[in-house]
Chains A and B, each alone.
Chain A
Amino acid sequence: ETGVTQSPTHLIKTRGQQVTLRCSSQSGHNTVSWYQQALGQGPQFIFQYYREEENGRGNFPPRFSGLQFPNYSSELNVNALELDDSALYLCASSLDQYNSPLHFGNGTRLTVT
């Protein structure tokens, strides 16, 4: 059983650019969620996908968007990057939405300059 993997591990972008972060969930996990974690803070829920459809969203603007694919991979896209978008981005997968623990990847550290 492989764990959750994220790529890239680190990324530096310039304000105004666009970025795509990738996540490969554990096989069989239908649910994937994405989080933004600023330094010294708890993760903030961005959104959740279940069977390729978004079914939950936190307090993030529309320039944060995502996709989930049938092969258990997913993407987080952020447009028009702002300096405050600098953070650790984490994805997590689970067997279902409410009864199974979350399995996290090690995250992508995004720096916006």
Chain B
Amino acid sequence: KQEVTQIPAALSVPEGENLVLNCSFTDSAIYNLQWFRQDPGKGLTSLLLIQSSQREQTSGRLNASLDKSSGRSTLYIAASQPGDSATYLCAGTGANNLFFGTGTRLTVIP
């Protein structure tokens, strides 16, 4: 069974800092790896999707990487802003299922 772990569970940084969120998974047989953000009491917003054949994806200040062989993905956020405060979740898509990590709660302090 796929297990997805996210470290750290919570992170506080001052505005303007660059930061890295980590995601590790036990089963490398994934079709893709997705990163989401979730604001309190809300649904998830898709940030980046990396296909299993890709190494990274970029969108604005966000960059996600994928290393299937080591079972790791990272989300890099450049020049963090208070509006980036949210919980960030990664999820691996397997054959007819999808496994989420428990998330990293990010607080960006003005």
Contact = CB atoms under 8 A, between A and B. Distances in A.
A binds B: yes
Interface in A83-113: 88, 90, 92, 97-107, 109
Contact of A102 (B34, B97, B103): B34
A102 B44 contact: yes
A106 B49 contact: no
Interface SS, B side: strand
Contacts, number: 68
A101 B49 contact: yes
Interface residues of B, number: 25
B58 interface: no
Contacts of A58: 97
Contacts of B97: 45, 48, 56-58
B32 A42 contact: no
Q: Contact size class for A?
A: 20 to 34
B103 A104 contact: no
Contacts of A101: 34, 46, 49
Given A45-B100, A48-B97, A98-B32, 6 more contacts: A42-B4, A42-B102, A92-B44, A104-B44, A107-B42, A109-B41
**Nearest 4 Cβ contacts at the A-B interface:** A56-B96, A42-B100, A104-B43, A101-B46
